[in-house]
Every structure is written in structure tokens, then in C-alpha cells.
């Protein structure tokens, strides 16, 4: 199923941030909430420094074939010389959710049934979308729309950026995860602990968090699966519905197509549990969402 359309959801410092839409019904004028489809926002990985929405295409097509409207975005990438430092990435992800709700009628989307899904850095951002409300309220076109999603699905998303990653290699390169974080925050290790804490899903958990499905590999050589277990414990303690799915036969990067197929089926099952039964009381929209 091809991309239905590609649009600009935000412009930052002259950079157009693009969003691909899969499986939607644009401009059909769907008015009844019962006719609208649940949506999934896909966030690519890449250590907050590389990657693009195109990496989500296979997953997006799989979900679209199952009746979901899928949105895949580019967000600002951190670079050298303090380019696009945190929280630019969070601001973009939150803006994308608000853009989707603002355009819900156009794309036949139910704004009360939006999930966020991502791997690695995209998983980190997806977790935050299920935890906190809009940080930057300066976008005048989205004043009444919530940026908080209704459920979260992540793979290998880091949840605690305050750990010491100076000895954790990054994809066998002559760099460490700490080097990535130094670049993300635009500061040197030891000077941004409070920033890292605010950016860590683990320290943003509350009873108001959205339900989570957390997927991780016990052989992950970059982001320890223990971060996911610790995050799950915090969510559970707060009374937030959370499921953990551990896999054995892969590392941080999934190369086995059979593993990808199995995980896609697991994600679809979870989304169906969350969204397909429209009579469930807990599928009410996020409180601050304006229903268009």
C-alpha cells in the first residue's frame, strides 16, 4: 500500500518537516466518529542524529493493510556545532501529534485513538508522547489540541538518559552512546544531568500515563533491556497498564525477517486490543483534545 500523500507538518528555521500518510481516506468528509479509523504515528530511530520517515515504510504498510491510518515523520536531527539540540526532537514529535488531530477529519482519523510507535531513539520519543503534554505551546494553529497519544508501542527505546554510557559502544563505531548524548544536549558529559533527567521517560512516569507495550531484546548491545524492565516497574507502580515482550534471538538492530513478522503481529494484536473495541470506556479521547 503506497504513501497516500506527503505533507509538511511544521517548518523550523526554514526546514520543512515532512509527514507521510498511509492508508487514509483524505478529503472524504468523514463526520461520524464511528466511521473514523485509529491512527499510528511512527518515529524512526538513528540515535537522534540520522534516519528518516522512509525507514517506517514496511511497518506502516503492514499496519495500513490492517485498517490503521499511519503517519511517518521526519524530525530535526541533532548534529555537530549544537545543531538541533534537545528538545527540538520532542517538540517536533508533539507538533506532529497535534497536526494529526488538527487534520483528523481530513484523513478519516479518530483523534481519540492515536498510538505512537518507534524503535531506539524513536522509541524514546514515543514513550514521552505517552507521558507528558505539549512542552512548546507557541504553535498558534494548534492551541486546543493535545500532543499526548492514547497508547505507546516501543522497541528498544532508552528510558533513562542519566546513566553513564561512556563505555557503551555505538554500532561498533569509534563512538559511545555518551557521545550521542553529548551531541543531543549540546553539552559535555557531567554538565547536563538535569536535562537528561527531564528527557528520560523513567522520570516522567505518572498515573496519567497512557498504556504501553514495551518490546526489547535481551541481547541488545546498545540499550540494555534492563532499562525497559525498570521503566515497566515504574509504570506498573503508578497503576499504568503496561505489557513487556522480551525477545531472545536478535540484537539492537533486527535483521531477521521472521522476527520482524512476529513482532508486527504482536503489535497489531496489541493495537487491536486497545483500539478496535470502540465500546471500551478507556478509549475516551485525551481530555484536552479538541474533537474536530
The pTM of the full predicted model, rounded to 2 decimals, is: 0.92
pLDDT at 31: 56
When pLDDT is cut at 50, 70 and 90, the band that residue 51 belongs to is very high
Q: What is the reported pLDDT for 158?
A: 97
Q: How many CA atoms lie within 13 A of 49 on its CB side?
A: 16
State the pLDDT at residue 96. Answer: 97
Q: Which domains does the chain have, with CATH numbers?
A: 3-276 (3.40.50.1820)
164: pLDDT confidence band, cut at 50, 70 and 90? very high
Q: What is the DSSP letter of 211?
A: P
Order the strands of the 37-43 sheet from edge to edge: 3-12, 15-22, 69-73, 37-43, 109-119, 151-155, 212-217, 242-247
Q: What is the pLDDT of residues 192-213, one digit of tens each?
A: 999 999 999 999 999 999 999 9
Q: What pLDDT, on a 0 to 100 scale, did the predictor assign at position 62?
A: 93
Q: Which residues contact 53 (CB under 8 A, 6 or more apart)?
A: 18, 19, 20, 42, 44, 72, 73, 74
Of 24-28, 130-134, 286-290, where does mean pLDDT reach its minimum?
Answer: 286-290
- CA distance readout (Å), 19 to 10, 43, 189, 231: 9, 10, 33, 29
User: For 101-128, what is the mean pLDDT?
Assistant: 95
Is residue 93 very low, low, confident or very high in pLDDT (cuts 50, 70, 90)?
Answer: very high
Residue 74's pLDDT is: 98
| Mean pLDDT of the 37-56 span | 96
Q: How confident is the model at residue 48 (pLDDT cuts 50, 70, 90)?
A: very high
C-alpha cell at 1: 500500500
What is d(CA 27, CA 117) in angstroms, rounded to the nearest whole number?
25
Residues in contact with 219: Cβ distance below 8 Å, sequence separation at least 6, in sequence order: 248, 249, 250, 251
pLDDT at residue 184 is higher than 50: yes
Q: Give burial (CB, 10 Å; 0-12/13-18/19+) of 22.
A: buried
pLDDT digits (tens, 9 = 90+) for 55-75: 999 999 999 999 999 999 999
When the pLDDT of each residue in the chain is averaged and rounded to a whole number, the result is 89
Q: Is the pLDDT of residue 282 over 60?
A: no
Strand partners, 6: 20
Give the pLDDT score at 35: 80
Q: Which residue has the cell 468523514?
A: 30
* Distances from the Cα of 112 to the Cα of 33, 134, 166, 205, 275, angstroms: 9, 16, 41, 21, 9
pLDDT at 283 over 90: no
Amino acid at each position: 500500500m503506497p504513501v497516500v500523500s506527503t505533507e509538511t507538518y511544521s517548518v523550523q528555521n526554514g526546514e520543512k518537516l515532512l509527514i507521510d500518510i498511509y492508508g487514509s481516506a483524505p478529503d472524504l468528509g468523514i463526520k461520524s466518529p464511528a466511521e473514523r479509523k485509529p491512527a499510528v504515528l511512527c518515529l524512526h530511530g538513528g540515535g537522534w542524529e540520522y534516519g528518516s520517515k522512509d525507514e517506517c515504510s514496511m511497518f506502516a504498510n503492514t499496519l495500513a493493510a490492517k485498517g490503521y491510518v499511519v503517519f511517518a515523520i521526519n524530525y530535526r536531527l541533532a548534529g555537530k556545532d549544537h545543531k538541533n539540540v534537545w528538545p527540538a526532537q520532542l517538540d517536533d514529535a508533539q507538533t506532529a501529534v497535534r497536526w494529526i488531530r488538527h487534520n483528523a477529519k481530513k484523513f478519516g482519523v479518530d483523534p481519540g485513538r492515536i498510538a505512537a510507535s518507534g524503535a531506539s531513539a524513536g522509541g524514546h520519543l514515543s514513550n514521552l508522547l505517552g507521558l507528558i503534554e505539549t512542552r512548546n505551546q507557541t504553535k498558534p494553529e494548534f492551541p486546543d489540541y493535545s500532543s499526548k497519544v492514547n497508547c505507546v508501542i516501543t522497541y528498544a527505546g532508552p528510558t533513562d538518559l542519566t546513566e553513564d554510557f561512556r563505555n557503551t559502544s555505538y554500532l561498533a563505531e569509534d563512538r559511545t552512546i555518551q557521545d550521542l548524548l553529548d551531541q543531543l544536549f549540546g553539552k559535555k558529559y557531567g554538565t547536563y544531568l538535569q536535562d537528561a533527567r527531564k528527557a528520560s521517560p523513567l522520570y516522567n512516569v505518572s498515573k496519567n500515563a497512557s498504556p504501553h507495550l514495551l518490546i526489547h531484546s535481551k541481547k541488545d548491545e546498545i540499550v540494555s533491556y534492563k532499562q525497559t524492565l525498570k521503566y515497566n516497574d515504574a509504570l506498573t507502580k503508578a497503576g499504568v497498564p503496561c505489557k513487556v515482550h522480551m525477545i531472545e534471538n536478535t540484537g539492537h538492530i533486527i535483521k531477521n525477517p521472521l522476527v520482524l513478522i512476529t513482532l508486527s503481529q504482536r503489535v497489531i494484536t496489541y493495537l487491536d486490543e486497545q483500539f478496535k473495541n470502540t465500546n471500551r470506556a478507556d478509549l475516551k479521547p485525551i481530555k484536552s483534545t479538541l474533537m474536530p
